[in-house]
Amino acid sequence: MTVATHLALWALGLADDDVPDEVRDAACRQLLDGVGTAVAAARTGAGGPAVTVAGLLGGPRRAAVIGSTGPKLSAPAAAFANGALVHALDYDGTHPAGVVHATAPVLAAAFAAGQEARATGREVLLASVAGLEAVCRIAAAAPHAFHARGLHATGMAGVFGAALASARLLGLDVQQTVHALGIAGSSSSGLLECLNTGAETKLLHPGSAAAGGMLAAWLARAGATGPDTVFEGEFGFYRAFTGRSVAPHQVIGGLGERWELPDITVKQYPCCELIHASLRAAATAAAQMAEAGLGPDDVESVKVAVPKESIPLVGTPDKAAPRSVYEAKFSLAWSVAAMLVDGSVDVDTYAEGCTRRTAPAELAQRVRISTIRCDGPAVSAPGELTVRFRGGRRLRVDEPGLTEVPDEVVTAKFHANAGGTTSDSELLAAKLRALGTVSRIGPLIELTAKIAAPRG
């Protein structure tokens, strides 16, 4: 039995009793967080071109876009816009082992397909659980292998999770779902060259994955076929994109018994998660500097240590002087400097024009980056930061790697992304936390539009 067949059988057969409470809660937490990041993007205009183009794609108008008061779109078009919005601020969570943003493509496809199918919240939740778990496993089977080749793991693996979620919600049988996965493999894409130029291509990848996965499900339902050996075949996903073979058990081993989904993080900062541990260390340093009456002008140099796998993405010398908002989000030196200057890093840190700020730009040139050994995923590495001050004083801060974000922090982040706590944002948060009890997904999308609308 192929990997695709295993995934199809498991995803279509997944029932309430098969999902432990902690997995269900983790899925709801990710959907809450993802909707929040999409609403924040809609409020601030991030991802605007994707939303504009989605509205031009035509087709039966059956699905609304998160945070949009515009007319409904075809489900694939809505999925494309939703995926781009969830990821537009680079504020959605990451699965550490695969270094993949699982939530954006799966949420986008599940919410769009759920509207088209008039599915219950329970069905959307189960479809999301299947899609999220699949994306995590597919990416984690080849950790860092995609990024090493300049490929975005989210675009590469996300299309399969979107296909599984769509297949379940649209009523495909097992064989059709296997075909959908096979077709989806030919839509795997996402080049990281944008990180070398400041372009925003990366935010489009989850949208393309969501739309590609849904189109694969549509095609399979219409009779199109795809290779069932899409993962392990001679010209399959792993050999073609990583140059290596991946044994089936690396993807499906313990499927339904050992869960990867709960390991998806909730981001504390709207930038590349490879920077986060260093930012936590910089936050501690900034607080201690303030207590001692020291400011950025007193800093002679800053040394930051990260795993070698992080350097090409966030730590090369040219990244110390970002040219755009997106480059700033992938600049370890600039982001650490911004934290030391401001004492905090949030959505406003990466506002349009941020790279023209003098203080972080000058301090970023005094940041030196070294490497540390990390036996696990690079995003789980600790933060090690040393600040040397003029006159010889020295401050060393060590922060642990990934830490669990408490539920109250997740909720506070959601309300901040919604533009503040209101009765509508509280209602939406409550319904997303209890998605399995919601009768229809459509009214939730309508509520996001109300929240994202400009306030008088």
Domain boundaries, the chain: 3-263, 273-399
Q: Which of 361, 340, 354 is nearest to 296 (CA)?
A: 340
The pLDDT score that the predictor gives to residue 404 is 81
pLDDT at 403: 77
CA dist., res. 406 & res. 92, Å (int): 16
pLDDT of residue 272: 93
Alpha helices, H only, 199-275: 205-221, 237-242, 248-252
Rounded Cα distance, 451 and 318, in Å: 39
Q: Give yes or no for a contact between 2 and 251, defined as CB atoms under 8 angstroms apart.
A: no
- Residue whose entry in the numeric block shows the structure tokens 């919604």: 418
Close Cβ partners of 160 (under 8 Å, ≥ 6 residues apart): 7, 134, 135, 138, 181, 184, 185, 188, 213
Residue type, 196: N
Residues of the chain with pLDDT under 70: 456
Interstrand relation of 383-389 and 367-372 (parallel, antiparallel or unpaired): unpaired
DSSP letter (8 states) at residue 95: B
In three-state secondary structure terms, 80 is: helix
305-355 pLDDT tens trace: 999 989 999 999 999 999 999 899 999 999 999 999 999 999 999 999 999
Residue 418 in contact with residue 44, Cβ under 8 Å? Answer: no
In a 3-state reduction of DSSP, which class is residue 42? Answer: helix
Where are the strands (E) in 383-422, listed by range? 383-389, 394-399
Q: Is 100 helix (H, G, I), strand (E, B) or coil?
A: strand
User: What pLDDT score was predicted for residue 376?
Assistant: 80
Q: Which of 220, 128, 138, 133 is nearest to 178 (CA)?
A: 220
What DSSP state is assigned to residue 343?
S
Q: What is the DSSP letter of 311?
A: I
3-263 topology per CATH: 2-methylcitrate dehydratase PrpD (1.10.4100)
The fold of 273-399 is 60s Ribosomal Protein L30; Chain: A; (3.30.1330)
Non-local (6+) Cβ contacts of 338 within 8 A are: 328, 345, 349, 354, 357, 360
* HSE toward the beta carbon, residue 27, CA cutoff 13 A: 30
Q: Which of 268, 277, 266 is nearest to 378 (CA)?
A: 277
What pLDDT does 456 receive?
A: 63
Q: Would the pTM count as exceeding 0.85?
A: yes
Q: Which residue has the tokens 């049988």?
A: 173
Which tens digit of pLDDT belongs to each residue from 21-76?
999 999 999 999 999 999 999 999 999 999 999 999 989 999 999 999 999 999 99
